[in-house]
Amino acid sequence: MNGRAFLAMLARDAHVARRNVVVLLFQTFLQPLLFVFIFGRVMVRSGYMPASYKSLLLPGIMAISMVFTGIWAVAMPLISEFQFTREIEDRLLAPIEIGWVAMEKVLAGTIQALLSGLVVIPAAWLILRPVALDFSRPLLFLAVTVLVALFAAAGGLALGCTVNQTHIGLMFSLVLTPMIFFGCTYYPWSALDSFPILQKAVLINPLVYASEGLRATLVPQFPHLSLIAVLIVLTLFDALMLVLGLRQFRGKAVS
Amino acid sequence: MVGIRTHDLRKVYNSAPPFGAGGGSPPAQRGKQKKPKPEIVALDGLSLEVAAGEVFGLLGPNGAGKSTTVGILTTRVQPTGGQAWIGEHDVWKQQVPVKRVIGVVAQRPNLDFSLTAREILAFHGAYFGLDSHERTKRADALLERFKLTDRADQMVRGFSGGMMQRLSIARAMMHDPQVLFLDEPSAGLDPQTRLLLWEIIREYNHSGKTILLTTHNMEEADALSHRLAIIDHGRMIALGTPGDLKASVPGGYLLRLRFGTNSPELLEKLRSLAGVREVRPVEPNGADVYADRGGSLIPEVATFAASSGAELHDVNISEPSLENLFLHHTGRSLRE
Ligand SMILES: Nc1ncnc2c1ncn2[C@@H]1O[C@H](COP(=O)(O)OP(=O)(O)O)[C@@H](O)[C@H]1O
Ligand SMILES: [Mg+2]
């Protein structure tokens, strides 16, 4: 691997991100903040939801925010760089193995997903005060967030190199929307106890592990899946998405 | 100094060309399986040898396999068979060392629309490990050379086709590659820019660099290449210096004739004219006459035609050229 070329590519992405910072901020934070405001503040203050719901909701919002941002941040530029501007060609010709070109995109997406996840916490805290968050296990919390962010970015790589421009909207509505609603984001997994079949079925949804993992580290007072299981499954999903994404990327990069 | 070599390169595409891909209509040969997969033979055993320091031209019509050849030599296309080397390095097996020494201008523009012209050069330089001082110095010099200095800090999104093309070439030269690939570099350029480009290409070559350029413009191939290969349907049909190739056309001159009616007897008569080397019938009522003189043949041709009752309708005379060579080999015009 050629570290200088890799860093230069990362620098290019950072440069472009800085230039588009306003759009990027809106894209990343608007939806989660609206969610936090409506569900956490409006619904709670008006009495439709108990106050404890605020703390339960926060990890779910964080998971959605990270997964959406990571997938979007990697998939959308890849689609346009392969199909329209063809900008990726200059990187593919850089003196670095092409797998690393894909890895750079994943790293950039992971960082973006991490930022979007971490910003939800202070923002939500401002809107929702008081929320009962537990920061007594920072390393475990970090491990979960990194795994979730990596999943999102690697998933974006796989998606961006598989789906073409005309189908990406469809992909978001047909795959990501159900993923969010069946992803234990607005409710804990244990809330599905009375739907035993559904409760088993949603376990194929990686977002379940993201929400439950964040719940387990941030608000352990609520019921959640075992943290060990979450860490193992997220690691497996990360590996799967990376392998798949790299394969698809090579298929696109070389004809 | 680094040369280029290929041995028996083959490339078969298994999918239709992506939208906007260069090349003409694919000669889709559908197999007999249940779900027919198009098989496009783009290269059919191409062996080339380009000496270090040479300007080598690949001339051929659309769809001949020029871009595929460049793609294989630049790691972007996986060969179905055969091998390719840049210097000592096998292109497919040693991609990174190969990429270090090559610069590539693709046929279709691929500039980074999120950056300015200067940034495009700078980041490209950074990918190749140039330090920031060197990047600035080279970018300034190239922008100046390609007459882009006044647009250097604008986003390339708004650039004209010609400006994008100039910037693409500047970018390919940014890391001072030993081997430069230019895929149809002057397509769509105005004549003035084309001359600037030719000058820059010659200059770059004089600094000891190897250049492989593709074109379907014979004038360009003639003007720039030390040697050139004419390819068609993925095969080489002629190889040599532009002068040798032009001299290899029988007679050199080509008279494309069209008559009122089809008369084999007339064609026989034409063969007997002084200076005529070869007469080829062209459907329906024409003939391609290869001869060592041009206009002076016309009165005699007209007389023969009249006496055979096949009036001469149309004449097109061309002087010795690579175009004629291509026609002679394939019966088709390069422009078709
Ligand atoms: N990526 C691709 N997928 C499928 N077919 C392709 C692809 N690229 C080129 N072709 C086909 O291969 C043949 C050679 O194309 P190309 O090398 O682009 O020719 P040229 O550059 O000489 O015009 C054409 O028939 C073209 O349609
Ligand atoms: Mg081409």
Per-residue pLDDT tens digits for B266-276? 888 888 888 88
Task: Pick from B25, B39, B40, B335 the residue to mutate for probing ligand 1's pocket: most ligand atoms within 8 Å of its CB.
Answer: B40
pLDDT, residue B22, reads 47
Q: A5 to chain B: nearest residue by CA? A: B127
Percent of chain B scoring above 90 in pLDDT: 54
Asked if residue B203 and residue B149 are part of one domain, the reply reads yes
Asked if residue B263 and residue B188 are part of one domain, the reply reads no
Asked if residue B298 and residue B276 are part of one domain, the reply reads yes
The number of domains in chain A is 1
Asked if residue B309 and residue B218 are part of one domain, the reply reads no
Tell me, letter by letter, the H, E, C secondary structure of chain B.
CCCEEEEEEEEEECCCCCCCCCCCCCCCEECCCCCCCEEEEEEEEEEEEECCCCEEEEECCCCCCHHHHHHHHCCCCCCCEEEEEECCEECCCCHHHHHHHEEEECCCCCCCCCCEHHHHHHHHHHHCCCCHHHHHHHHHHHHHHCCCHHHCCCEHHHCCHHHHHHHHHHHHHCCCCCEEEEECCCCCCCHHHHHHHHHHHHHHHHCCCEEEEEECCHHHHHHHCCEEEEEECCEEEEEECHHHHHHCCCCCEEEEEEECCCCHHHHHHHHCCCCEEEEEEECCCEEEEEECCCHHHHHHHHHHHHHCCCCEEEEEEECCCHHHHHHHHHCCCCCC
Residue A121 neighbours by CB distance under 10 Å = 17
* B25: pLDDT strictly greater than 70: no
Q: Check if A147 contacts B (Cβ < 8 Å).
A: no
Candidates A102, A188, A206; CA nearest to A149 is A206
User: Which of A9, A85, A255 is facing B110, going by the closest CB pair?
Assistant: A85
| Most confident by average pLDDT, A75-79, A240-244, B235-239 | A240-244
> How far apart, in whole angstroms, are the C-alpha atoms of residue B240 and residue B246?
9
In a domain, residue B329? The reply is no
**Which is the closest atom of ligand 1 to the Cα of B16?**
4
Do A95 and B76 make contact, defined as CB atoms within 8 angstroms? Answer: no
Looking at residues B243-256, what average pLDDT do you find? 81
Q: Check if A21 contacts B (Cβ < 8 Å).
A: no
**Which is the closest atom of ligand 1 to the Cα of B184?**
21
In a domain, residue B170? The reply is yes
Q: How far does B126 lie from chain A, in Å, by closest CA?
A: 6
Asked if residue B263 and residue B200 are part of one domain, the reply reads no
What is the residue range of B284's domain? Answer: 250-319
Looking at residues B274-285, what average pLDDT do you find? 85
In a domain, residue B29? The reply is no
What digits encode the pLDDT tens for the residues A129-170? 777 788 888 899 999 999 999 999 999 999 999 987 788 888
Q: How far does B194 lie from chain A, in Å, by closest CA?
A: 23
Asked if residue B295 and residue B151 are part of one domain, the reply reads no
Looking at residues B142-154, what average pLDDT do you find? 95
Range of lowest pLDDT (A143-157, B11-25, B87-101): B11-25
In a domain, residue B68? The reply is yes
- Of B223, B242, B261, the residue at which a domain comes to its end is B242
Q: A13 to chain B: nearest residue by CA? A: B114
In a domain, residue B336? The reply is no
- Of B242, B274, B309, the residue at which a domain comes to its end is B242
* Domain CATH code at residue B290: 3.30.70.980
In a domain, residue B327? The reply is no
pLDDT level of residue B18 (50, 70, 90 thresholds): low
* A73: pLDDT strictly greater than 50: yes
Task: Pick from B13, B72, B335 the residue to mutate for probing ligand 1's pocket: most ligand atoms within 8 Å of its CB.
Answer: B13
What digits encode the pLDDT tens for the residues B121-141? 999 999 999 999 999 999 999
Q: Check if A95 contacts B (Cβ < 8 Å).
A: yes
The number of domains in chain B is 2
What digits encode the pLDDT tens for the residues B294-333? 888 888 888 888 888 888 888 888 877 777 787 777 777 7
Asked if residue B256 and residue B235 are part of one domain, the reply reads no
Do A92 and B76 make contact, defined as CB atoms within 8 angstroms? Answer: yes
The mean pLDDT value of chain A amounts to 89
Beta carbons of B7 and B82 less than 8 angstroms apart:
yes
What is the number of the ligand closest to the CA of B23?
Answer: 1
> Tokens 């001299």 map to which residue?
B247
Ligand 2 geometric centre to CA of B66 (Å): 5
* Domain CATH code at residue B106: 3.40.50.300
Number of H helices, E strands in chain A: 12, 0
Q: A17 to chain B: nearest residue by CA? A: B114
List, chain by chain if needed, residues with CB within 6 Å of any ligand 1 atom: A 255; B 13, 15-18, 21-23, 26, 40, 42, 60, 62-68
Task: Pick from B68, B105, B108, B181 the residue to mutate for probing ligand 1's pocket: most ligand atoms within 8 Å of its CB.
Answer: B68
For chain A, the distance separating the N- and C-terminal CA atoms, rounded to the nearest angstrom, is 23
Asked if residue B237 and residue B88 are part of one domain, the reply reads yes
User: Which of B71, B109, B123 is facing A8, going by the closest CB pair?
Assistant: B123
> How far apart, in whole angstroms, are the C-alpha atoms of residue A92 and residue B99?
9
Ligand 1 geometric centre to CA of B33 (Å): 23
In a domain, residue B33? The reply is no
Mutate to test the interface with B, among A90, A91, A101 (most CBs of B within 10 A): A90
Asked if residue B212 and residue B113 are part of one domain, the reply reads yes
Range of lowest pLDDT (A105-114, A242-251, B43-52, B241-250): B241-250
pLDDT, residue A150, reads 97
What phi, psi does B4 have (nearest 5°)? -130, 140
Beta carbons of B129 and A5 less than 8 angstroms apart:
yes
pLDDT level of residue A30 (50, 70, 90 thresholds): confident
Asked if residue B192 and residue B103 are part of one domain, the reply reads yes
pLDDT, residue B33, reads 47
A71 vs B18: which has the higher pLDDT: A71
Looking at residues B209-235, what average pLDDT do you find? 90
The mean pLDDT value of chain B amounts to 87
* A115: pLDDT strictly greater than 60: yes
**Which is the closest atom of ligand 1 to the Cα of B234?**
14
What is the residue range of A188's domain? Answer: 2-254
Q: What is the residue with the minimal CA distance to atom 7 of ligand 1?
A: B17
Q: What is the residue with the minimal CA distance to atom 3 of ligand 1?
A: B17
Q: Check if A99 contacts B (Cβ < 8 Å).
A: no
pLDDT level of residue A126 (50, 70, 90 thresholds): confident
pLDDT level of residue B335 (50, 70, 90 thresholds): low
Beta carbons of A66 and A149 less than 8 angstroms apart:
yes
In a domain, residue B333? The reply is no
- ipTM entry: 0.88
A76 contact residues in B (CB cutoff 8 A) = none
Do B106 and A255 make contact, defined as CB atoms within 8 angstroms? Answer: no
Q: A77 to chain B: nearest residue by CA? A: B114
Q: How far does A4 lie from chain B, in Å, by closest CA?
A: 6
pLDDT level of residue B28 (50, 70, 90 thresholds): very low
pLDDT level of residue B32 (50, 70, 90 thresholds): very low
Do B95 and A90 make contact, defined as CB atoms within 8 angstroms? Answer: no
Asked if residue B204 and residue B65 are part of one domain, the reply reads yes
